[in-house]
A and B are shown apart, each in its own frame.
Chain A
Amino acid sequence: MFDFVSFIPRAVMQGTPLLFGSTGEILTEKSGNLNLGIPGIMYVGAISGVIGSFFYEQSMAGQPLNGFWAIAIPMACSLLGSLLMGLLYCFLTVTLRANQNVTGLALTTFGVGFGNFFGGSLIKLAHSDVPSVALPATSAFFSKHLPFADNLGWFGKIFLSYGFLAYLAIIIALIASYILNHTRAGLHLRSVGESPATADAAGINVTRHKYLATCIGSMIAGLGGLYYVMDYACGIWSNNAFGDRGWLAIALVIFTIWRPNISILASILFGGLYILYLYIPTGTQMEVKELYKMLPYVITLLVLIVVSLRKKREDQPPASLGLSYFREDR
């Protein structure tokens, strides 16, 4: 019998960083910016939070942490770090009209390097005498779940056993979905992504929409990194542990055909696919597990192909995705 009660919570925990990342990237892409820097931004979001709480824990010198600050400081640092990355991306691609693919890849190189560098050198740079970057005290605040969840059996385990960031991810995805589809701001944003020239002619400030959507998107994605290190990884930073989840978040954007509300379930599905190999009995054939890990990518590829074959208009990527806008261009 397949053990759903232990499988689903793990899938959700795997899926939450992806949900943050994909919600952020959907907002960004809806403004016509293909931000391939998301993997880097998620690293920066994670390490900024780690740096913030590292110094907070150091300054408390072993005394019990104040719950509010233990959460607020890493959150603020993480948001600030990813905001700066988003601003850099916007400045280069929107103001300076640089190529989005190249800028995004450079941002990822930089961001992953930034994360690993500070993760690996933080202790040395801070002249501190702890053996490794481990923040269990802060992590305890992040992964705290409702106290009565443990008494509710399988229901509590599946629905109530997560830290607050996991619920925040779902709320943000729902809000993003609502704004995109049911508000004027969302309509304007989508029009900027579809045809910036038309939007401009209609009096919509293209630059401001691109900046706002990309920066907010980056901050949301950065929270995914923070969730990973503070909740999932129990506050322990290890280099490259975040892995290729950032790219998987971008895959998820395609998989959900640019809909944050679908992304909630899809991220759990992806999270499940990501860890499915742990639950499939393969006996002695360890190599088969590697093939299971391929599943999220293969499925995304199939969705991409099917969507382009069907040519249904509402399923297509934003029409100006990846293109810079210059008013005087014809």
Chain B
Amino acid sequence: MNKKEPLLYISKRESITWQKSWMIRGIAILLALVFCGIITMLLTGLNPIEVFSTIFYGAFGTMRKSWVTAQKLAILLGISLAITPAFKMRFWNIGAEGQVLIGCLACAACMITLGGKVPSALLVLISLAASLAAGALWGFLPAIFKAHWETNETLFTLMMNYIAMQLAAYFIIVWEVPKGSGNIGIINQNSQAGWLPVLGGQQYLLTILLIAVLTGFMYVYLTYSKHGYEISVVGESHRTASYAGIKVGRVIVRTMVLSGAICGLVGFLLVSGNDHTLTTTLVDGRGFTAVMVSWLAKFNPIGMIFTSLLLVVLERGATEISSVFSLNHSFADILTGIILFFIIGSDFFTNYQVHFRKAKKEVE
């Protein structure tokens, strides 16, 4: 038995067509959905078709539900777009949570302190600028340390999340209405000062349109601009980049400032355009989910529309299921986790080939 070829061995794929790689993912998602269906069936006793129709109803069942789904999609997609340039550069920014929240905080700060003192349109612009600046600062700090001293960015950005969160908690108590309630309530409810205008009677339409524009911009920026090219070179290898005359440190800082600023923009949209309030859980873990959205789509902004749609629909659907069956709403997180595990696992088959000993058959 000894000296025999191992039962299976693995080799790296030279290249793979995008059709094939998306097909592998499609299969993985399908398997994951079947698996989720089985889990749901076991817990609730629904039959599989009912499971998926309930999920679909939860996401698109009524006009109102569809709008909320679209809004959630826009926000998640926005955050995913924001972190993508950094990830493409292999800068593991898991601080989107904090970067968005600090944007929210800056926006809320402007709305509260300047509400009624300046015209509403000007106030919107001021809070937009403040949010962008705050987000950019939260991106700049880890980047400058990474660029100069190789400080681990994953851990740095992680800590920045909690600093942002405690700052928000601090200001929430400073501004709480009424005193002692521990929350701010709707900001400028009567004057609506600093609120984004409502387009066509649909509160979320403007947010959705802005994110759509942002998607296009990010696609062009990453694919066709010089900056985008520099980002991919730095992502491949710092050394290659500096031989090619790219100033690696400058690219890192520039990209992270952009990344943070877009996070700040999403924070602005959340506060000024959607929720009109500030809580420490406003971002609700989406800064972390965005990492997965972006990575699942291979950092392709167009692909991210689909990956974020998948996760948002699943989340809304699972929420529907858990409220119908009075189960805990964290059911959505379990389903999301399962889908993610399958897709993460499937990635192996797009990067590597498995060969069996006798039959020279490829296994996808």
A117 vs B44: C-alpha distance in the bound complex, in angstroms?
13
Answer yes or no: A58 CB below 8 A from chain B CBs. Answer: no
0 or 1 for each of A106-133: is its CB under 8 Å from B? (1 = yes): 1111111111111111001100000000
> Which A-B residue pairs are the 4 nearest by beta carbons?
A113-B333, A110-B337, A120-B328, A116-B330
Asked whether B347 lies within 8 Å of A124 as measured between CB atoms, the reply is: no
- Closest B-chain residue to A321, C-beta based? B152
A positions within 8 Å CB-CB of B? 34, 36, 88, 91-92, 96-99, 101-103, 105-121, 124-125, 239, 244, 247, 250-251, 254, 286-288, 290-291, 293-294, 297-298, 300-301, 304-305, 308-309, 311, 317, 321-322, 326, 328-329
Number of interface residues of B (CB under 8 A): 51
Asked whether B288 lies within 8 Å of A110 as measured between CB atoms, the reply is: no
Asked whether A291 lies within 8 Å of B170 as measured between CB atoms, the reply is: yes
- Closest A-chain residue to B288, C-beta based? A105
Asked whether A121 lies within 8 Å of B341 as measured between CB atoms, the reply is: no
A/B interface sample: 18 pairs, CB < 8 A: A88-B341, A91-B345, A96-B348, A98-B344, A98-B347, A110-B337, A113-B330, A113-B336, A119-B328, A121-B327, A124-B326, A288-B170, A290-B166, A290-B169, A291-B166, A294-B166, A308-B150, A309-B149
Given contacts A239-B330, A297-B163, is CB(A102)–CB(B292) below 8 Å?
yes
Asked whether A92 lies within 8 Å of B345 as measured between CB atoms, the reply is: yes
B12, B159, B327, B338: most-surrounded residue (chain A CB, <10 A): B159
Q: Which residues on A sit within 8 Å (CB–CB) of B352?
A: 97, 326
Q: Is the interface of B mostly helix, strand, loop or mixed?
A: helix
Instruction: Identify which of A88, A115, A250, A287 contacts B173 (C-beta below 8 A).
Output: A287
Considering only residues 272-298 of chain B, those with a C-beta below 8 Å from chain A are 285, 288-289, 291-292, 295
Instruction: Identify which of B158, B330, B344 contacts A247 (C-beta below 8 A).
Output: B158
A254 vs B155: C-alpha distance in the bound complex, in angstroms?
8
- Closest A-chain residue to B326, C-beta based? A124
B150, B151, B162: most-surrounded residue (chain A CB, <10 A): B162
A121 vs B92: C-alpha distance in the bound complex, in angstroms?
35
0 or 1 for each of B317-361: is its CB under 8 Å from A? (1 = yes): 000000000111111111011101100110110011000000000
Q: Which residues on A sit within 8 Å (CB–CB) of B329?
A: 120
Given contacts A92-B345, A99-B344, A103-B344, is CB(A109)–CB(B336) below 8 Å?
yes
Asked whether A112 lies within 8 Å of B330 as measured between CB atoms, the reply is: yes
